[in-house]
Chain A
Amino acid sequence: MSHPAENKPAAGLFESLAALLRDRTVRRWVFQLAVTLSLVSFIGLLVAIAAGNLARQGIATGYGFLTGEARFEISESVIAYSAANSYGRALLVGFLNTLKVSLVAIVLATVIGTAVGIARLSSNRLLAGVAGAYVEGLRNIPLLLQLSFWYGLLTVTLPVPRAALNPVEGVYLSNRGVVLPMLEPHAAFGYAGICLAFGAAIAVLLNRLAARRQERTGRRTVIAPAVLFVLFVPVLAAWYFGGAPAALDMPRLQGFNFVGGVRLSPEFAALLFGLTAYSATFIAETVRGGIEAVSAGQSEAGRSLGLRPGLVMRLIILPQAIRMIIPPITSQYLNMTKNSSLGVAIAYPDLVAVGNVTMNQTGQAIEVVSIFMIVYLTISLAISGFMNWYNHRMALVTR
């Protein structure tokens, strides 16, 4: 109703500006703006100078090269790729290879790390000792050395394809990797996949309903049979009525190498083993720390309620520990993604490997490095975003 400016008719422009600056929110905004503007103009200046100097040295600039034909092959790819594709697609292949190895390693390292972390606290001396030796041993050896070790182990000790180990019909182990039989593609697998997705959604829903009912009535509904039913029966039905395809694409030795089936390369395997074994040690320590931080009274209380040790761990300790574990584990996941680029040393074609070739062939180092930065930043933000969301969900609900 009464505006301060109206009350002070004599207030000059300067004074009202000063008053505005005294306002904390306004002041904060002004400073933020000033800092951002100077940073942006500083970067702009650097870019301008760099562009000028690169031009003088005759080095090509700009992102136009991304559409040019790559003309080099890549040893493995999850999407179709050939030397006739563009640099852009080659970099995408590298990016997907980075994601592939990082995601699988993150899942495996989490499982192994959690198990080892719990094992270190076991009252079984032998188990705790073995877990401790694993953690202390592996986390103090540089990852690069471990990668070379695994790669050497896989390529030097395994036989050449003609003498490949053949433990089971259709499975071959050689220094070219593992080849496994693969189902021949068929439309029925597509239908089965869709049914699986629907089944999973229904299972989640059932679980929610059961949990809500338990909150209301205190009684736990047994949903396991229903979950198993919705998960498996529609899938099997889709497969069966889709024609029950079971033709296998069997690998066979032809000329130099195996054809058919699916292949896991020794480069991928060595990077996966190395990254998993190394990172699991850090996750184990985090898990152990998280568990030890939950006060001893909690497990005593659990046991005095008559719960078995396994249940105490699962129902009482882990849910509390997890809130302490998530933030450090998140940074471990980020490390793993970045560390996967060490695979360059053992010829794994990840984003950095493909990018290095690209900058060598096109001369556009700055552009390629900028792509590295954007991609790794995006992966990092995605992982942190997901973990924050998960952390939020796991946060203690106070009733």
Chain B
Amino acid sequence: MKLFLATLLASTAVFSAALAGETLDKVKARGSLVCGVSEGIAGFSAPDSTGTWAGMDVDFCHALSAAILGDATKVTFKPLTAQNRFTALQSGEVDILSRVTTYTLTRDTALGLDFGAVLFYDGQGFMVPAKLNITSARELDGATICMQTGTTNELNVADFFRSIGKPFSPLAIEDVNELNNAFFNSGRCDVYTGDTSGLAAWRSSLAQNKDDYVILPELISKEPLAAAMRHGDQQFGDIVRWVGFALIEAEEKGITQANADEMKSSADPTVQALLGVSPGLGKALGLDEAWALNAIKAVGNYGEIFERNVGAKTPLGLQRGTNALWNKGGLIYAPPAR
């Protein structure tokens, strides 16, 4: 599969390359958006019992398709492993990657990608069985630590143990089921490392008893998760970035899935511009003026997306914390849509 994708990449590298405007034209011609997601991480992108994809990353794809095509349902989801996701994007298999992907310098440059708005501020942590009575990551020397290959996690954990000068036994597994099995079932590894939101997700969906596992307090990295697209297609990049910002702006302005249509009569000029009542923003992006309105009506504002998928009332039960709006003590911030 990987080899196949790489060969595909080699051949598309020969025959095509992302050019400005190309992705948008392709999506419009096809009438649907192909969105690369995970193979099933609860709260971000996972198929439910009926096979319908759900999660924050999934909602963002729906918002994007609503903004571009005026129809939130026109999305084809393509599950990708951490390992093959970038090749799939580079080779044009998917239009966009909305798959718990950390925004890093190397990915932005050498991998030929661009990133949208950061829609989740995460950090890497460690999860251990509670019965080991471990309270700090510094007690983990010599432990066998499982992680997924092709992630930032694989690098961060090596950096962490190098910096504290202690050894550990790594076990990097590509397939996420094999990985979860190694930690939750066989005990092949003592510790599971990954983005803390991911650890919480696996714990909520796989542990028989949530309290059997603890996530240690240390965060060893910054994992700002954002959508990724091919470098070189600036127009599509702008669209992805600003659909993300629009969802954040909507929360700030109190525009919700339910009240979006009523808010069109708001006296606030920012709201009027965002919802396309006073035209201009849509045209600038090369989209319909109702782009943001459609996106918000499809999935709600940023806060609604968060609460519905990973918030306190979901199995993940995450607090807003760093992911609160900038004016509510968090980091979520959108440049002005004007």
Q: Which residues from chain A sit less than 8 Å from chain B, CB to CB?
A: 46, 49-50, 52-54, 56-60, 71-75, 82-84, 148, 151-152, 155-156, 160, 175-176, 254-257, 259, 266-267, 344-347, 349, 352-353, 356-357, 359-366, 368-369, 372
Contact = CB atoms under 8 A, between A and B. Distances in A.
B155 A361 contact: yes
Given A60-B112, A356-B149, A363-B90, 20 more contacts: A50-B10, A53-B14, A53-B15, A53-B17, A56-B232, A57-B13, A57-B230, A148-B178, A152-B181, A160-B187, A176-B144, A176-B188, A254-B142, A257-B143, A347-B174, A357-B150, A363-B86, A363-B106, A363-B107, A366-B6
Contacts of B13: 49-50, 53-54, 57, 59, 366
A82 B167 CA distance: 10
A255 B188 contact: no
Contacts of A372: 3
Contacts of A368: 6
Contact of B155 (A59, A72, A347): A72
A155 B111 contact: no
B212 interface: no
Interface of B: 2-3, 6-7, 9-10, 13-19, 82-83, 86-87, 90, 106-107, 109-112, 140-144, 149-150, 154-155, 157-159, 162, 168-175, 178, 181-182, 185-188, 190, 230-232
B257 to A, nearest CB: 36
12 contacts: A53-B13, A58-B112, A71-B155, A75-B169, A75-B170, A148-B178, A155-B186, A256-B190, A344-B174, A352-B2, A360-B150, A366-B9
B185 A59 contact: no
B142 to A, nearest CB: 4
B169 A59 contact: no
A347 B181 CA distance: 12
Q: Dominant SS at the A interface?
A: helix
B122 to A, nearest CB: 19
B142 A255 contact: yes
Nearest to B139: A255
A175 B186 contact: yes
B112 A363 contact: yes
B159 A259 contact: no
A262 to B, nearest CB: 15
Given A60-B109, A356-B150, A156 B158 contact: no
B110 A347 contact: no
A345 B175 contact: yes
A345 B155 contact: no
B86 A347 contact: no
A81 to B, nearest CB: 11
A160 B273 CA distance: 61
Contacts of B231: 57-59
Given A71-B158, A73-B170, A344-B174, A59 B14 contact: no
Contacts of B109: 58, 60
B109 to A, nearest CB: 7
B212 to A, nearest CB: 15
A365 B6 CA distance: 6
A364 B162 CA distance: 26
A74 B158 CA distance: 10
A229 to B, nearest CB: 45
Given A59-B110, A73-B158, A360-B86, A259 B150 contact: no
B158 A257 contact: no
A366 B149 CA distance: 19
Nearest to A265: B171
B83 A356 contact: yes
A362 B9 contact: no
Contacts of A56: 17-19, 232
Nearest to A52: B17
Given A83-B159, A257-B143, A345-B178, A357 B110 contact: no
A266 B146 CA distance: 14
Contacts of B181: 152
Nearest to A359: B6
B61 to A, nearest CB: 22
B169 A257 contact: yes
Contacts of B232: 56-58
B149 A256 contact: no
B93 to A, nearest CB: 13
